[in-house]
Amino acid sequence: MKITEIFKKQERTFSFEFFPPGDYLTAVKFGINAGQLMRLSPSFVSITYGAGGGTQSNTFDLVNLFQNDLKFTCMAHYTCVNASKEKIAYDMRVLHDMGIENVMLIRGDKPKNEPLIKPNPAGFNYGSDLVRFVKENYDFCIGAGAYPEKHVESPSMEEDIKNMKVKVDSGADFLITQMFFDNKYYWEFLEKAKKQSIKCRIIPGIIPITNFKQIKKFSEMTGATIPEKIKKKMEPYRDNKKEIYKVGLDLAVEQVHELLKNGAPGIHFYTLNKSSAAIQLYESLSQNFKDVKILFEKSLKPPVTKP
């Protein structure tokens, strides 16, 4: 089912993002964690795509597994950096023939150790170019990326929002945000998007900080501000994994409650292929939000697997 069809039925969506595991052992762990999360009946799931290569075919295999064997609406992430138009056209055909109806189209990050993204004469330079090409040639429901604290390469928020507007006008049906830890950035971003007449859903992408090292890593990777309040709460427990996990989860619960109470159109959960934080977060939400409670009740059904 197209995610835009799910929007018609669900005022808010609750989705999980996974990445393809790199080896057998992590694949086994992934299977266990994903299995537990699928019992929460997410509105849809998404599988990331390695812009740098490596696990790209694993993305397609996993998307196929979730969509066709496990019968969950699954969105394939796809990046255009380093890809020719021919390769993109071929891959879109493969996804279409596989029965995939949803794609998250993004440019992809520059390869490590390269100072700048090289323009690709045989392909596309920006997410919006990829979105336009796919919209014009295929019948997918299209998601794209949004950056409440602006994209790290962008000179200003105004510039970034204008580019995002181009992406929506090129055919993106909805947006999912980069992670953020202070909701004020999300609410301000929605206001700015509204001023640019961006009307599609902008779903907040959420990740709980569950270990101390992640704080610096997330912030460097994405440009997301880690509020002083969070740093102060976590600092005393920097060497205490259990306490950091608890504090990080409490903060994420607080963040998500505030988002949903104030009308966010759902939550896209960056699971990092782990299940416990998401399950605990859902449990807490189910006590306060009717739609999450319903998902929880439905989740008593085991997922459908092939005999």
**160 touches ligand FAD (CB under 6 A):** yes
Window contacting ligand FAD (CB under 6 A); options: 31-39, 125-133, 245-253, 274-282? 125-133
Among residues 127, 171, 204, 265, the one that binds ligand FAD under rule CB under 6 A: 127
CB of 80 to ligand FAD, least distance (A): 8
Three-state secondary-structure class, residue 301: coil
Beta bridge mates, 266: 13
Among residues 63, 176, 277, 292, the one that binds ligand FAD under rule CB under 6 A: 176
Nearer to ligand FAD, 20 or 234 (CB): 20
Three-state secondary-structure class, residue 278: helix
Q: Residue 178 class from Cβ within 10 Å (0-12 exposed, 13-18 middle, 19+ buried)?
A: buried
**149 touches ligand FAD (CB under 6 A):** no
Nearer to ligand FAD, 205 or 266 (CB): 205
CB of 105 to ligand FAD, least distance (A): 7
d(CA 106, CA 18): 16
| Residues near 214 by beta carbon (within 8 Å), at least 6 away in sequence | none
**207 touches ligand FAD (CB under 6 A):** no
- 3-27 core/surface letters (b: 16 or more CB in 10 A; e: else): bbebbeebebbbbbbbbbbeeeeee
CB of 40 to ligand FAD, least distance (A): 20
Nearer to ligand FAD, 176 or 252 (CB): 176
Nearer to ligand FAD, 33 or 46 (CB): 46
Options 5, 11, 17, 158, the catalytic residue = 17
φ, ψ at 105 (rounded to 5°): -105, 120
Question: What part of residues 65-84 is at the interface with ligand FAD (CB under 6 A)?
Answer: 77, 79
**219 touches ligand FAD (CB under 6 A):** no
Among residues 126, 186, 212, 218, the one that binds ligand FAD under rule CB under 6 A: 126
**49 touches ligand FAD (CB under 6 A):** yes
The three-point CA angle 151-10-295 to 5° equals: 100
Quote the tokens at residue 199: 């009307």
Instruction: Tell me the pairing of strands 102-106 and 141-146.
Output: parallel
CB of 28 to ligand FAD, least distance (A): 22
Window contacting ligand FAD (CB under 6 A); options: 6-14, 83-91, 121-129, 243-251? 121-129
Distances in Å between the alpha carbon of 174 and those of 14, 86, 131, 256, 304? 14, 26, 12, 19, 28
Beta bridge mates, 14: 267
Beta bridge mates, 269: 16, 206
φ, ψ at 103 (rounded to 5°): -130, 140
Among residues 68, 154, 219, 280, the one that binds ligand FAD under rule CB under 6 A: 154
CB of 290 to ligand FAD, least distance (A): 27
**250 touches ligand FAD (CB under 6 A):** no
d(CA 176, CA 267): 9
Among residues 128, 210, 271, 286, the one that binds ligand FAD under rule CB under 6 A: 128
Catalytic status, residue 17: yes
Asked if 212 and 234 touch (Cβ cutoff 8 Å), the reply is yes
Quote the tokens at residue 172: 């993106």
| Footprint on this chain of ligand FAD (rule: CB under 6 A) | 48-49, 51, 77, 79, 104, 106-109, 126-128, 145, 151, 153-154, 159-160, 163, 166-167, 176, 178, 205
- Catalytic residue list: 17
